[in-house]
Amino acid sequence: SQQGEEDPQALSIQEGENATMNCSYKTSINNLQWYRQNSGRGLVHLILIRSNEREKHSGRLRVTLDTSKKSSSLLITASRAADTASYFCATDASGTYKYIFGTGTRLKVLA
Amino acid sequence: DVKVTQSSRYLVKRTGEKVFLECVQDMDHENMFWYRQDPGLGLRLIYFSYDVKMKEKGDIPEGYSVSREKKERFSLILESASTNQTSMYLCASSLRKNLRGSRNQPQHFGDGTRLSIL
C-alpha cells in the first residue's frame, strides 16, 4: 500500500480561490516533500518540510505537518490557471535513500 | 539549474526485445532513481543507485535491471520487454546529503519516457 496517500484525488476550483490538498502516511519520517507534475512532464519539487517543523511557506504555498496524525496539507492561495497540475507528496523511508510517493491530487483551476 | 535528461520522450518496442532507457544528470548527484508511473498507482520505485556501480532494488524490480558505470548516467534495462511494462518511466537524481548532513534531499526529475510495448 502507498505510504503517502493524497486526498482528494481530484479538485476543481475557480481562479483566485484557495486549494487545499492533504497527504497521510503510515510510518515515521525524516521529512515530507511536495511535488507538482504538469501533464506529460516530470515532477518538480515544490517544498520540503522536516519532521521537527510544523509549518512552512514558499510564495503562495503553505505546507503544514502533523506528525502525531501522520498527515500533511498543501495550501495554494490565490490559485491561477497555471497551477493546474497533479500534486504529490513524498515521504522518505527512514534509514534509506528511498522516497515513497502517493497517487496524487489532480488540481484543475478554471479561468 | 539541475538538468536530468532522458534519452527518449516516446518509445515503441515489441515484446521480447531488450530495451534500454538512458538518463543523464549534470549536477554531480550521488543518488539516481528509476520510477514507473501508471494511472491510479502513482510512482513506484524500480531501482535506485547511491553511487557508481552501486544499486538497490526498489519496490518493483522484476523484469528490470540497471547499470551505473559513470556517476552522471543511470540506465534502465528491460531484459525481455512485455506488454505489462508499457508505462511512463521517470528518472530522478538527488544529492546524498546537503551541507548540514541531512539525507533525503529533493529529487530532480527528467521529463519521462512514455514506453509502449506491442
pLDDT tens digits along A24-52: 998 888 889 999 999 989 999 999 999 99
DSSP state of B107: P
Q: Cis before residue B106, ω within 30 degrees of 0?
A: no
Report pLDDT for A27: 85
Task: Dump pLDDT digits (tens) for A59-88.
Answer: 999 999 999 999 999 999 999 999 999 999
Which among B97, B115, B103 is positioned nearest to B36, based on CA atoms? Answer: B115
C-alpha to C-alpha distances, B51 to A95, B72, B74, nearest whole angstrom: 16, 10, 10
Closest chain B residue to A105, measured at CA: B42
- Contact status of B4 with chain A (Cβ, < 8 Å): yes
- Are the Cβ atoms of A48 and B106 closer than 8 angstroms? yes
- Over the stretch B76-85, which tens digit does the pLDDT of each residue have? 999 999 999 9
Inter-chain touch B102–A30, beta carbons under 8 Å: yes
* Per-residue exposure over A37-67, b if at least 16 CB sit within 10 Å of its own CB, e if not: beeeebbebbbbbeeeeeebeeeebbbbbee
Residues 18 through 57 of chain A touching chain B, CB cutoff 8 Å = 30-31, 33, 35, 40-45, 48, 50
Q: In b/e form, how buried is each residue of A84-96, taking b as 16+ CB within 10 angstroms?
A: bbbbbbbbbbeee
Are B103 and A2 in contact (CB < 8 Å)?
no
Distance set, CA A70 to CA A5, A28, A73, A88, B35 (Å)? 11, 8, 11, 16, 24
Cell numbers standing for residue A42: 516530470
Partner-chain contact B42 A101, CB within 8 Å: yes
Question: Mean pLDDT for chain B?
Answer: 92
CB pairs under 8 A between A and B: 59
